[in-house]
Amino acid sequence: MKSVTILGATGSVGTSTLDLIERSPDAFRVEALTAHRDVAGLAAAARRTRAAHAVIGEEALGLDLAEALAGTGTTTAAGPAAVTEAAARGADWTMAAIVGCAGLPPVMAALAAGGTVALANKEALVSAGALAMECARRHGATLLPVDSEHNAIFQCFDSAAPESVRRIILTASGGPFRTMSREEMAAVTPAQAVKHPNWSMGAKISIDSATMMNKGLELIEAHHLFPVGLDRIEILVHPQSVIHSMVEYVDGSILAQLGTPDMRTPIAHALAWPARMAAPVERLDFAKFGRFDFEAPDTERFPALALARAAIVAGGGRPAVLNAANEVAVAAFLGQAIDFLDIAAIVAETLSRYDPPPPDSLDAVIAVDSEARRVAGGIMEERAA
């Protein structure tokens, strides 16, 4: 039996992970589940899976959780430190599916515990990629990418001979506004922006897909996960989201991983790796698709892509600043405090005002993250005045 912890168990990736685990009750034992505010969802999942431990991130909800799980045998705790402690308990396999830089301390704790960490929480790698990779190495942890593109690359990438790779082709759906002009994008609402054409996901990543910041974050994520220069990671728009990414070798061969857009495939890959397990996903019907389309990304209409590439090329603390400013701007857009096009503009302005040196510890990353949030918040206030 594999022991499993799910950080962010009530979210889109978290519930997909639970779905797979609950279909194989004899194969997995749940060590810990965590969530931010959804006490009912967390308690229900803990009861169904007989989790050993459950943690709610919002401190004030601790009593509610304890009450909801009274008499079940599941121990409970609350607060951000308790979420990190849940990760530090260690498990054979940990799903890191918290959204945002808030997930970084638990990711580092899970890596330090030395097990296998399946990483969906891309913001953690964007803000602290070098530190996280080093932490995994030092503690003998295995980091498996769950983001569908990175999972695809992982499946195609010959890690024994990285010098034989010519380039990585990171595919992008282009999001719901792929064909829109800037003028049209200026007026879009949060409800339109969260409606992804192919994937059903949490609100934050859905907005990131609409601005294409998601692909920028994924470029940075790929840079940390795979030993290939940034100039060899290309972004290709593929609206059907069936080819999840590709790896080209020096002999001209291109390997791709395909599948219907369902996160249960990359999650199952990471859950069973290095073996395979069945996943209840729709089979790919090629004849139904008939054709696959491709186009070059447009960084004029989607400036977030260029911002992310420039941030990782320049290095230093810039990726962490980019990520923090984007989190603040996306939350403001979801709260209808700013317009869609303001998101990338606020990220750009934050990057131009705050250029810290590379953070060399977890505390330093958190300090850069908070300062970048403060700068981005100030920019939004100025613009609103």
Using CB under 6 A as the criterion, which residues of the chain lie in contact with ligand NAD when the complex forms? 8-14, 35-36, 38, 57, 83, 97-99, 102, 120-123, 147, 199, 201-202, 204-205, 263
Q: Which of Mg ion, ligand NAD, none has residue 57 at its interface (CB below 5 to 8 Å by kind)?
A: ligand NAD
Residue 46, token pair as written in the block = 């803990």
Which of Mg ion, ligand NAD, none is residue 376 near (CB under 5 to 8 Å by kind)? none
Which of 119, 237 has the CB closer to ligand NAD? 119
d(Cα 104, Cα 363) in Å, to the nearest integer? Answer: 11
120 binds, among ligand NAD, Mg ion, none (CB under 5 to 8 A by kind): ligand NAD
Distance CA 271, CA 263 (A): 12
What contacts 46, CB < 8 A, 6 or more positions away? 30, 33, 54, 69, 72, 74
Q: Which does 199 bind (CB under 5 to 8 A by kind): Mg ion, ligand NAD, none?
A: ligand NAD
CB of 193 to ligand NAD, least distance (A): 14
Query: Considering the complex, what minimum distance in angstroms separates the CB of residue 214 from ligand NAD?
Result: 7
Sequence-separated contacts (24+) of 184-193 with Cβ below 8 Å: 185/301, 185/340, 185/341, 186/339, 186/340, 186/341, 187/339, 187/340, 188/340, 189/336, 190/333, 190/334, 190/336, 193/333, 193/340
- Residue 11 interacts with which of ligand NAD, Mg ion, none, CB < 5 to 8 Å by class: ligand NAD
Distance of alpha carbon 35 from alpha carbon 382, whole angstroms: 34
Cβ atoms of 207 and 221 closer than 8 Å: no
Q: At closest approach, how far in Å is the CB of 86 from ligand NAD?
A: 10
> Are the CB atoms for 196 and 209 separated by under 8 Å?
yes
Sheet holding 93-96, edge to edge: 75-78, 53-56, 28-35, 2-7, 93-96, 116-119, 142-145
Q: Which does 263 bind (CB under 5 to 8 A by kind): ligand NAD, Mg ion, none?
A: ligand NAD
Least CB distance to ligand NAD at residue 184 (A): 25
Residues contributing to the site for Mg ion (CB under 5 A): 147-149
| Min CB(319)–ligand NAD separation in Å | 15
Minimum CB distance to ligand NAD smaller for 199 or for 249: 199
By beta carbon distance, the residue nearest Mg ion is 147
Nearest CB to ligand NAD, comparing residues 204 and 309: 204
The option from ligand NAD, Mg ion, none interacting with 90 (CB < 5 to 8 A, set by class) reads: none
Q: Which CB, 248 or 264, lies closer to ligand NAD? A: 264
Please enumerate in sequence order all residues whose Cβ is within 8 A of that of 122, keeping only pairs 6 or more positions apart, or say none: 147, 217, 218, 221
Residue 127 vs residues 35, 84, 147, 267, 270: alpha-carbon distances, Å: 21, 17, 16, 23, 23
- Decide whether 241 or 350 has the Cβ nearer to ligand NAD: 241
Nearer to ligand NAD, 248 or 347 (CB): 347
Q: In the complex, which residue's CB is closest to ligand NAD? A: 11
Return the one option of Mg ion, ligand NAD, none that residue 350 interacts with (CB less than 5 to 8 A, by type): none
Supply the minimum distance, in Å, between the C-beta of residue 382 and ligand NAD.
27
Residue nearer to Mg ion on the CB measure, 120 or 375 = 120
Provide the minimum distance between the beta carbon of 267 and Mg ion in the complex, in angstroms, as a whole number: 12
Closest CA to 328 of 274, 266, 379: 379
Which position has the token pair 């593109």? 149
**How many whole angstroms separate alpha carbon 26 and alpha carbon 200?**
29
* CB nearer ligand NAD, residue 353 or residue 367: 367
Q: How many CA atoms lie within 13 A of 129 on its CB side?
A: 23
199 versus 273: smaller Cβ distance to ligand NAD: 199
Shortest Å distance, C-beta 204 to ligand NAD: 6
CB-based contact 77:53 (threshold 8 Å): yes
Shortest Å distance, C-beta 109 to ligand NAD: 13
